[in-house]
Structures are given as structure tokens and as C-alpha cells.
A and B are shown apart, each in its own frame.
Chain A
Amino acid sequence: MSSRRPIYLDYAATTPVDERVAEKMFRFMTVGGAFGNPASRSHSFGWEAEKAVEEAREQVAALVGADPREIVWTSGATEADNLAIKGAAHFYQKKGRHIVTVKTEHKAVLDTCRQLEREGFEVTYLDPEPSGLLDMAKLEAALRDDTVLVSVMHVNNEIGVIQDIEAIGNLTRSRGVLFHVDAAQSTGKVPLDLSKLPVDLMSFSAHKTYGPKGVGALYVSRKPRVRLEAQMHGGGHERGMRSGTLAPHQIIGMGEAFRIAREEMGAENERLRMLRDRLWEGLSGMDEVYLNGDLERRVAGNLNVSFNFVEGESLIMALKDIAVSSGSACTSASLEPSYVLRALGRDDELAHSSIRFSVGRYTTVEEIDHTIALVKSAVEKLRELSPLWEMHQEGVDLKTVEWVAH
């Protein structure tokens, strides 16, 4: 038995920290390093930490075309989403208490909106098109006089589709509505230029871009100026928007990771696209395999596939040598199949059969080829076990069968 670790194809869940990043982070922790509190104004320990934090702020800003003064450090994209949505809703509630978002958003956005509903706000959750993309006409129709905020993610974490945030922002600007974008999955994958994009608030995370977990940032536009009500109170750090002693090692890690992303994303994405396309070519040769989400408007590293007549959890179990994630879960176990795929209008069967493959910086061609072979044999094995596959082979239309649901 080999003790080799599984092939990691779950870069959309998290990425390993790049060695260059880890090495730099280490210099901001120990007694020999710049371990000071960046808020300490009275000695050089504080100054050197502060200088490094501000350099990191510039690096993060540079990747997304923002002014460093528009970057607020947070503990991750979840906190950034919370701060953006609750902060704007609370600050502007005299103007209106209606928010518009999409059903395929990350839980960090959806649950935050639910919380605001409990506080008396009204939220409209839009259905995306079957491609995963938002229809602008539907968005426009959802806007009301009392709408204060629209929150639409840039790159979807499950299916990798890229929303047209420029078009959405142009619409919200014309209507005087704030626009928040969750861009946790975008950095290093899609070019962003906030100096031109009509976006007011944007959330980032370090750990999706080869930085450490537990750190992120919120972009808060200065022109036009956006105000937020703080959600974390204390020493008034980050211009009062987010109190709490900064974590220099984390922040420096995020800065370095974003610096590398800026320099390498062009070449990296070409390589990832080649790997992803190779994987899709290998898998799409099988019968009854479906791609979820638009193939063109999609980040290079993501492939989300449904293997019809095979249940996702059992497929994950068969693929124990590959680390992937499934949007599937049996409803009877009170777990829902992927709400994202359901929102696309995918049949429940296909939603139950879905696997997300996400390739990244350390994925190799050999790993892709090995993955194709493993997936093929697992799907074949499970189809041999599947009564649905048998019926399909016999020409039975499963839609006409009366199932004994339980």
C-alpha cells in the first residue's frame, strides 16, 4: 500500500500557502522578527510592523486596481461580506430597507441577508439563468425605490461562472444603489480594476489565492464615498470600520500572495485552462456526463460535472485518491443537494451527481490523467450498481416512473 496523499483538486475550497508567502510570514512573528503591534506608535517595533502592513495593503490594492486607503483588513471574505452588507444596510437604512441578491451566492452573503430580514429588512433573492449568469432585465425589474444595496458575487465558488459586474454596476450606479461584490474566488483568476469598475464594496480572501487562511479584506470605495456602520467595535483600527489588533503575519501573507498573483496570473491561468480542458476532454467522452454552468464565462481552474445515474457521495467515496468536493447530499439525511445547482434549474438527479474539480498552482498533467482514469472506472463501477443506469439502458424514461418516495 502506498501512503501517497490524494490528488488535491479542491483549490476552490482552499489553496496551500505558497512557500514564498510562508517564508515571508515567518519573519513577522518571532522575537527576532518584526513581531510588533502595528498600532504601537512609540517605538520601532510598531513602526516596522506598520510599514509592512501598509506595504501589504498596497500589494492587495495593486492586484485589484484600488487605492490602498480603500482596503480594510478583515478575518476573511465571510467577515468582509458581513461588514459590507450589514454595514451598508445599517448605515443607509433611512434611505430604504430593501436588498437584492442572487440565490447562488455564498452562504456568507445569503445568511447575512437572512439576518437582516430578521431585523426587518426585505431581501429579494434572484434566480440566475441555467448558465449560472444573472439576467440584467431581471435584476433591473427587482430594483425598487427603497433598494439600498445589490450584492452579486463575481466568480461562483461551485460552478466558477463569472458575472458581468461591470454591467451590474452601471445599472446600480444609474439607480443610486450601492453594489457589493464577493470576489473571494476572483483574485489571481480574473483581472480586476476597481479604478474603473462601478463597484462600491468588494470582499476578498487570502486563502483562495495561496495566502493564509483567516485573513481577508474589504474594498470600500472612496470615490464615490461609501460609508459603513462598524460591526466590530473597539480600538478604532482600520479607520473605525473594523477594530482589533491587526495580524501582521497574516496580512503580510495576503499581500505577498496577491503580489505573486499579480505577477503570475497571466501564465498561470493559461496553464490551468489547459489542465481543466484536458480534464473535461477526458471526462466528457463518457455517456451521460453534463457540465454545470457556462463553459465560456468561467474561471480557468473550475470544472463542475454531473455524472448521471451515479450518486455524488458514493462517487466521492470511490474517488478516495482524489480530493474533490460534491454538491450532492441525500435529501433524506436532511442534507440538501447543492442549492447552487438547484437554482440553475438542474434536475435533482443531476444535482445529486455533481462533482466540483478545481485545479491550481501545483496540479500536474500526470495528476489530471490519473484523475480521468480513476473517475472513469469509479463511474463505471457505480453505474453497474445503479438501478437507474440499468433502467436507462433498458430505455425506461425515469421521468415517467412513479417513485415510492419516502
Chain B
Amino acid sequence: MAYSDKVIDHYENPRNVGSLDKADPHVGTGMVGAPACGDVMKLQIRVNDAGVIEDARFKTYGCGSAIASSSLLTEWVKGKTLEEAGAIRNTQIAEELALPPVKIHCSVLAEDAIKAAIADFRKKSVQGHPADHEEPQRLSA
């Protein structure tokens, strides 16, 4: 399988490899895939109070295209709002990395991972520290 230069670049010099503290209320963690399928992607974001992604980290078990997709995605989401990051489509990743058809699903995995990280962060911020947020409005009986 011949890889594009961009895949090779991300693969050889992956950006933002690592982990953030998943207990931190500002951190959202998405983990998708399964070892039995040959791919697992973990993507984490740190979100500031303005709802902007300040930092992103990934770890990926999978082929070079999966590693490159997640590496690229961490670059893209930094500085974006949750809404903007959630709007990133796998097709944009696949296009940027010139992925061949059999590798499209590696980019799908990356899209799933950022969505899962955003969902995790949102879930935490609702449950975790109500002080930062308005209590959900109760209808008066």
C-alpha cells in the first residue's frame, strides 16, 4: 500500500500524542473502535470556559492512515468551538490526507472519536460541576 506524503508525515511525526487527565472536568475523552477489529482511537480535548478547545491529544492503535487521521484531527480542533469541531466531517480528513477508498473508514473513526470526546465533555459538564452552570430550570408546580 502506498501512502500519501501527508499520511507519512503525520505517521512519522505525529502531532499531539499523549493523554490528558480524564478525571479533569474540562477534559472530554472519546475512545472508539475495538482491538479485535484492529483499530482503537482515543481522542481527548481540553475545553475552556468559553467553550473553545484549548488542547487536544490522541493515541491510536491502528494502521498508518488511522494514526494520521487522528493526528491531523488534533491539529484541526485546537482553537475551535465545540460546535465547529463537531462539524468536521470524515470526508474533509480523507481529502486532506488523500486516503484511498479502503482507508476511508480510518477517517470515519476519527470523526467518531471527536464526536465521542465532545459528548463526554458535555455529559460531564452537566453532571459534574453544576456550580459552573445554571441548574436546569424547574417548572414550578
How far, in whole Å, are A404 and B36 apart by their CA atoms in the complex? 11
Asked if B33 and A311 sit within 8 Å, CB to CB, the answer is no
**A328 at interface, CB cutoff 8 A:** yes
A314-B62, A330-B37, A404-B34 given; 9 more Cβ-contact pairs under 8 Å: A313-B1, A314-B67, A317-B3, A332-B38, A332-B109, A333-B63, A347-B36, A403-B40, A405-B33
Report chain A residues within 8 Å CB of B38. 311, 313, 328-332, 337, 348, 352
Out of B34, B41, B64, B112, name the residue touching A317 (CB < 8 Å): B64
Report chain B residues within 8 Å CB of A405. 33-34, 36-37
**B92 at interface, CB cutoff 8 A:** no
**A335 at interface, CB cutoff 8 A:** yes
Report chain A residues within 8 Å CB of B64. 313-314, 317
How many A-B pairs fall under 8 Å by CB?
A: 103
Out of A333, A347, A384, A386, name the residue touching B102 (CB < 8 Å): A333
Chain A residue with Cβ nearest B11: A317
29 residue pairs from A and B, CB less than 8 Å apart: A309-B61, A311-B61, A313-B1, A314-B64, A317-B63, A317-B64, A330-B38, A330-B62, A330-B63, A331-B36, A331-B37, A333-B103, A334-B102, A335-B102, A348-B37, A349-B36, A352-B35, A385-B14, A385-B17, A386-B59, A387-B40, A387-B60, A388-B61, A390-B19, A390-B59, A403-B36, A404-B32, A405-B36, A405-B37
Out of B14, B19, B33, B109, name the residue touching A403 (CB < 8 Å): B33
Asked if A314 and B40 sit within 8 Å, CB to CB, the answer is no
Mostly helix, strand, loop or mixed at chain B's interface? mixed
Report chain B residues within 8 Å CB of A406. 32-34, 37, 105, 108-109, 112
B26 CB to nearest A CB, Å: 20
- Report which residue of A314, A329, A386, A389 has the largest number of chain B beta carbons within 10 angstroms of its beta carbon: A314
Out of B19, B31, B36, B63, name the residue touching A314 (CB < 8 Å): B63
- Report which residue of A329, A331, A403 has the largest number of chain B beta carbons within 10 angstroms of its beta carbon: A403
How far, in whole Å, are A390 and B20 apart by their CA atoms in the complex? 12
Chain A residue with Cβ nearest B1: A313
B54 CB to nearest A CB, Å: 21
- The residues of B with any CB-CB pair to A shorter than 8 Å are 1, 3, 11, 14, 17, 19, 31-42, 59-64, 66-67, 102-103, 105-106, 108-109, 112, 116
- Report which residue of A311, A337, A389, A405 has the largest number of chain B beta carbons within 10 angstroms of its beta carbon: A311
How far, in whole Å, are A309 and B62 apart by their CA atoms in the complex? 10
How far, in whole Å, are A311 and B38 apart by their CA atoms in the complex? 7
**A136 at interface, CB cutoff 8 A:** no
Asked if B35 and A403 sit within 8 Å, CB to CB, the answer is yes
Chain A residue with Cβ nearest B103: A333
Chain B residue with Cβ nearest A383: B61
Asked if B105 and A398 sit within 8 Å, CB to CB, the answer is no
Interface size of A by CB at 8 A reads 31
How far, in whole Å, are A384 and B16 apart by their CA atoms in the complex? 12
Q: Which 5 A-B pairs have the closest CB atoms?
A: A403-B34, A330-B38, A348-B36, A387-B42, A387-B59
**A310 at interface, CB cutoff 8 A:** yes
Report chain A residues within 8 Å CB of B32. 404, 406
Report chain A residues within 8 Å CB of B67. 314, 385
What 1/0 mask marks residues of chain A from 244 to 282 whose CB sits below 8 Å from any chain B CB?
A: 000000000000000000000000000000000000000
How far, in whole Å, are A335 and B101 apart by their CA atoms in the complex? 13
How far, in whole Å, are A390 and B18 apart by their CA atoms in the complex? 10
B88 CB to nearest A CB, Å: 17
| With known contacts A317-B11, A406-B108, A311–B63 Cβ distance under 8 A | yes
How far, in whole Å, are A388 and B34 apart by their CA atoms in the complex? 10
Asked if B61 and A310 sit within 8 Å, CB to CB, the answer is yes
Out of A329, A333, A387, name the residue touching B61 (CB < 8 Å): A387
Report chain A residues within 8 Å CB of B31. 387, 404
Which chain A residues numbered 303 to 335 have a C-beta less than 8 Å away from chain B? 309-311, 313-314, 317, 328-335
Chain A residue with Cβ nearest B35: A349
- Report which residue of B11, B35, B62 has the largest number of chain A beta carbons within 10 angstroms of its beta carbon: B35
| With known contacts A387-B40, A388-B40, A313–B108 Cβ distance under 8 A | no
How far, in whole Å, are A406 and B59 apart by their CA atoms in the complex? 18
How far, in whole Å, are A389 and B66 apart by their CA atoms in the complex? 16
How far, in whole Å, are A311 and B62 apart by their CA atoms in the complex? 5
What 1/0 mask marks residues of chain A from 154 to 176 whose CB sits below 8 Å from any chain B CB?
A: 00000000000000000000000
